[in-house]
A and B are shown apart, each in its own frame.
Chain A
Amino acid sequence: DAKTTQPTSMDCAEGRAANLPCNHSTISGNEYVYWYRQIHSQGPQYIIHGLKNNETNEMASLIITEDRKSSTLILPHATLRDTAVYYCIGLGYFSSGSARQLTFGSGTQLTVLP
């Protein structure tokens, strides 16, 4: 799995866009970038994933640089309920080539301020 690097914490004003960066310079060519979040010890919640192209869904947008060494998760209009730990993960295979697993780092604590 690619090692990812994220800032420890970020603040964002309610209603503004939250831009969460992630560096994944060792990501391999077929390794997707996944974003999850965890709200106060609840189960990790899937947000979005991408390989090369930028992606958008009802929750967020994902911007991946052309060299795939970094990406940015964008929450277009952050609300107080978006306060959570956000994880950027490179989803890889076990060495045996079998089922994938997610390796969680420490993530970014996003605090949305009123």
Chain B
Amino acid sequence: EPEVTQTPSHQVTQMGQEVILRCVPISNHLYFYWYRQILGQKVEFLVSFYNNEISEKSEIFDDQFSVERPDGSNFTLKIRSTKLEDSAMYFCASTRDTSSGNTIYFGEGSWLTVV
């Protein structure tokens, strides 16, 4: 069964460093998302991406965050200068289209620890 894959599964980084989290969405999907979950808290929407541009973003997704689809398969989330409060599990998700009844599929997540 096709799945969303994410790398790395776990990354530890120093505060202030840049981090890139990578995702390979399901191959025929066109809409891509990043969500995050701080330990013990709800899963929160960060950004959605379609046709090589951001469709929607939340208040969390400020100037230190960026997303990119550098080639036909990868979808990346970059955090430019990490802060302690960026420590969280980051989930990538994708869907084929946004018609009613279509399903969004999630990857297993990348656990980011900022020290």
Which residues 68-115 in B have Cβ within 8 Å of A in the complex? 89, 91, 93, 95, 98, 100-109
Contact indicator B50/A99 (Cβ below 8 Å): yes
Which residues 70-114 in A have Cβ within 8 Å of B in the complex? 93-94, 96, 98-106
Interface size class of A (residues with CB under 8 A): 20 to 34
For A101, what are the chain B residues with a Cβ–Cβ distance below 8 Å? 33, 45, 48, 56
Q: What is the bound-complex CA distance between A21 and B14, given in angstroms? A: 43
Distance in angstroms from B8 CB to nearest chain A CB is 15
Distance in angstroms from B52 CB to nearest chain A CB is 13
B55 contacts chain A at the CB level, 8 A cutoff? yes
Distance in angstroms from A110 CB to nearest chain B CB is 17
Which residues 17-49 in B have Cβ within 8 Å of A in the complex? 31, 33, 35, 37, 39, 42-45, 48
Q: Is the interface of A mostly helix, strand, loop or mixed?
A: loop
Would you give 21 A-B contacts (Cβ < 8 Å), ordered by A? A32-B100, A32-B101, A41-B37, A41-B39, A42-B108, A43-B4, A43-B91, A43-B107, A43-B108, A44-B91, A44-B106, A46-B105, A51-B100, A94-B48, A96-B56, A99-B56, A100-B98, A101-B45, A103-B45, A104-B35, A106-B42
Across chains A and B, which 5 residue pairs bring their CB atoms closest together, nearest first?
A43-B106, A104-B43, A99-B55, A99-B48, A43-B108
Residues of chain A at the chain B interface (Cβ within 8 Å): 30, 32, 34, 36, 38, 41-46, 49, 51, 93-94, 96, 98-106
Residues of chain B at the chain A interface (Cβ within 8 Å): 4, 31, 33, 35, 37, 39, 42-45, 48, 50, 55-56, 89, 91, 93, 95, 98, 100-109
